[in-house]
A and B are shown apart, each in its own frame.
Chain A
Amino acid sequence: EVHLVESGGGLAQPGGSLRLSCAASGFTFRSYEMNWVRQAPGKGLEWVSYISDGGFTIYYADSVKGRFTISRDNAKNSLFLQMNSLRAEDTAVYYCARDRYHGSGTFDYWGQGTLVTVSS
């Protein structure tokens, strides 16, 4: 059974940093493209970042470009999101989500999410 478990969320000050992790199990992680999607409190879903299966192709939403860095460790079945220069508007639940198949752009499995709160 596919499982995605996020961790690393918490309270950060504006301008601060956090590193999110997503532990994957139940599938061949190195064969799947992965994403981060976030949801501000009471709001809709916003795609944040994508990384290809080998980690060589990466995309970001304009709202986080230059501040967030996505990466993965296929040997450890893990996905990461390094979040720097955090702003209040980055406050959200962050989900890792798997692409249904190579290049699909459709998210078939999601983690339970980890809450990031940016506040002084």
Chain B
Amino acid sequence: EIALTQSPATLSLSPGERATLSCRASQSVSSSLAWYQQKPGQAPRLLIYDASNRATGIPARFSGSGSGTDFTLIISSLEPEDFAVYYCQQRYYWPRTFGQGTKVEIK
């Protein structure tokens, strides 16, 4: 089973700042990685698929990069609605696996 390790666990930032989130896979997953955002009491929302492609309706301030084992999600300038938990997920192997999440909180 592919393990995804996200860092940091918590990111404390102010609105307008840049957020950099990391996801590392235990084996190469090529570019088969997605990012999701989850707010309290809500279902996850797909942000990025195949490492770098924004899903429908996702603002341009969200960008993804990486391949192989190292991936990054960047939020270029945090908006108030961006404070949430972010998960990465690989689709290269069965079973599909998620990272443990990074919480982006208001500083």
Contacts and interface: CB of A to CB of B under 8 A. Distances in A.
Q: Which of A47, A50, A62 has the most CB of B within 10 A?
A: A47
A49 to B, nearest CB: 9
A113 B46 CA distance: 16
A68 to B, nearest CB: 13
- Among B89, B95, B96, the one with the most A-chain Cβ atoms within 10 Å of its Cβ is B96
Give the interface centre of B36, B38, B95, B99 by most chain A CB atoms within 10 Å.
Answer: B95
Nearest to A49: B95
B91 A95 contact: no
* Prevailing SS type, chain B contact patch: loop
By size class, the interface of chain A is 20 to 34
B95 A62 contact: yes
Interface of A: 35, 37, 44-47, 50, 59, 61-62, 95, 100, 104-108, 110-113
Interface of B: 1, 32, 34, 36, 38, 42-46, 49-50, 55-56, 87, 89, 91-92, 94-101
24 contacts: A44-B87, A44-B98, A44-B100, A44-B101, A45-B36, A45-B38, A45-B87, A46-B98, A47-B89, A47-B95, A50-B96, A62-B95, A95-B44, A104-B49, A105-B96, A106-B46, A107-B34, A107-B89, A108-B49, A110-B43, A110-B45, A112-B42, A112-B43, A113-B43
